[in-house]
Amino acid sequence: MNDQEQREFDKNLENLRLELRRGTLVLGVLSRLQRPQYGYSLVEELGARGIAAEAGTLYPLLRRLEAQQLLESVWETSGPKPRKYYVLTAQGKVMLGLLTAEWQEITKNMIGLLREE
Amino acid sequence: MNDQEQREFDKNLENLRLELRRGTLVLGVLSRLQRPQYGYSLVEELGARGIAAEAGTLYPLLRRLEAQQLLESVWETSGPKPRKYYVLTAQGKVMLGLLTAEWQEITKNMIGLLREE
DNA sequence: GATGATACTGTATGACACACACTATTGTCA
DNA sequence: TGACAATAGTGTGTGTCATACAGTATCATC
């Protein structure tokens, strides 16, 4: 593999890794928002737990989930910086349960596939 | 939740399940193509193993992976129907290893997140 | 020997989530 | 004063997927 091919390979790898991570961000966010938390702290916590998320990805995601009524938010303005706290709604809790089950199913199937030679 | 809201919820659920599955198809395909196999049989086998894939999704995927030099193909025309057999290239094997590691890392992180209350 | 199902491969279109690169404000500390 | 951190947001492009569609050749069934 020459340099050119190596760069192609690396680009494809990044792309495929990206696709693999896809969707897990939502599940991660929902699982964390069983307790109220604000966006910036979510980025930090998920990052610390191995789930890197760009702020530019997370904020639109939170707003989307709120629009879907899976989250609700309140502004906390008493501190030095205004923070928008999000937390799961009742629907959000149900969704978290369903997606967790789906995730476990997918994981089970993938393990079956990957185990064989 | 009224009917309208229920439909919204179901739509969102389908969408999120879709995103969760995303990327796993590639990993599944690569893992199966350690041995040569043709498209139609892949659809069957993956389906039997719990990874539903539409033909209209799989064929473009196979061609894409071949264009990325992760797969190579040969036409088998001796049988009654022409079949295009795909198999991993050397690069494809490396990629499979890297993506498998990534998958395990993601899984580990998600389990950590989901385990807590 | 016609009719329909099945095996087999392919293409076009559209939706949507993500990364990335921005903008913007306010507080803090050197 | 000036830089960095905290905090929230938007806009654009890219890529994968589902869905729907097109096409051919074989096999079974009647």
Please report, rounded to whole angstroms, the spatial distance between the CA atom of protein residue A53 and the C1' atom of nucleotide C19: 9
Collapsing DSSP states into helix, strand and coil, what is residue B89? coil
Q: Averaged over B53-77, what is the pLDDT?
A: 96
pLDDT > 90? residue B51: yes
Q: What percent of chain B clears pLDDT 70, i.e. is strictly above it?
A: 99
Please report, rounded to whole angstroms, the spatial distance between the CA atom of protein residue B16 and the C1' atom of nucleotide C5: 35
Residue A16 contacts B where some CB pair is shorter than 8 Å? yes
What's the pLDDT tens digit per position in A33-78? 999 999 999 999 999 999 999 999 999 999 999 999 999 999 999 9
What's the pLDDT tens digit per position in A69-112? 999 999 999 988 999 999 999 999 999 999 999 999 999 999 99
The number of domains in chain B is 1
What's the pLDDT tens digit per position in B100-116? 999 999 999 999 999 87
pLDDT > 80? residue B117: no
Alpha helices by DSSP H, listed for chain B, are 3-21, 24-32, 39-48, 55-67, 90-115
Distances in Å between the alpha carbon of A31 and those of A26, A88, A89, B4? 9, 9, 12, 26
Strand C proximity list, CB < 7 Å? A 18, 21-23, 25-26, 52-57, 60-61, 64, 80-81; B 15, 19, 38-41, 55-56, 59-60, 62-63, 79, 81-84
Nucleotides of C under 7 A from a protein CB: 7-12, 16-22, 26-28
User: Confidence class of residue A5 from pLDDT cuts 50, 70 and 90?
Assistant: confident
CB within 8 Å: A22 and B22: yes
Q: Averaged over A22-43, what is the pLDDT?
A: 96
CATH code of the domain in which B65 resides: 1.10.10.10
- What domain range is B32 assigned to? 3-115
